[in-house]
Amino acid sequence: MIETKALDLAVQDLRNILRDGLVATDIWDRTDGLSLAGYNQQPVAVALFTRITSELESALADSGFPPLSRYYLMDMGGNHTAAVIMHGTLLQGMLIDNKRANLGILISVAIPRMIEAVARAKVR
């Protein structure tokens, strides 16, 4: 059971932290691709990152590498960073403007807070 209102509050908290550095975010269930909360939501990105994450997980497993842990980052063109956070059955994607958001804030503050907030939303 997931409380979507708590997810909305977590997204709002994320917007407050990253301010205009957060271009878009979605939190979705990876089994059905249903977005549960977000900001400037991107259905195409939801489908894309569900597939990328699954491929990455199987490629790592097949190669005998350690599995993904909390998140992974992609440095993209146009001064953008994509971050994908693993919340168990939920995935969260974020598109960040590198010129407006601080990588330290993203990794040390925003992502850990998001992980905690989604975990709380799932246990309610």
The residues of the shown chain that bind other proteins, judged by CB under 8 A, are 16-19, 102-105, 107-109, 112-113
Query: What's the min distance (Å) between Cβ of 42 and other proteins?
Result: 24
Q: Which residue has the tokens 């497993």?
A: 61
Query: What's the min distance (Å) between Cβ of 110 and other proteins?
Result: 8
Query: What's the min distance (Å) between Cβ of 14 and other proteins?
Result: 11
Q: Rounded distance, CA 4 to CA 46, Å?
A: 17
Please identify, using beta-carbon distances, which residue of 2 and 83 lies nearer to other proteins: 83
Query: What's the min distance (Å) between Cβ of 80 and other proteins?
Result: 18
Q: Rounded distance, CA 22 to CA 10, Å?
A: 13
Please identify, using beta-carbon distances, which residue of 53 and 102 lies nearer to other proteins: 102
Please identify, using beta-carbon distances, which residue of 89 and 108 lies nearer to other proteins: 108
Pair 102, 21: CB distance under 8 Å = yes
Bridge-based pairing of strands 22-29 and 34-39 is antiparallel
Structure tokens at 98: 């590198």
DSSP state of 20: G
Please identify, using beta-carbon distances, which residue of 32 and 75 lies nearer to other proteins: 75
Helices (H), 19-110: 43-62, 103-105
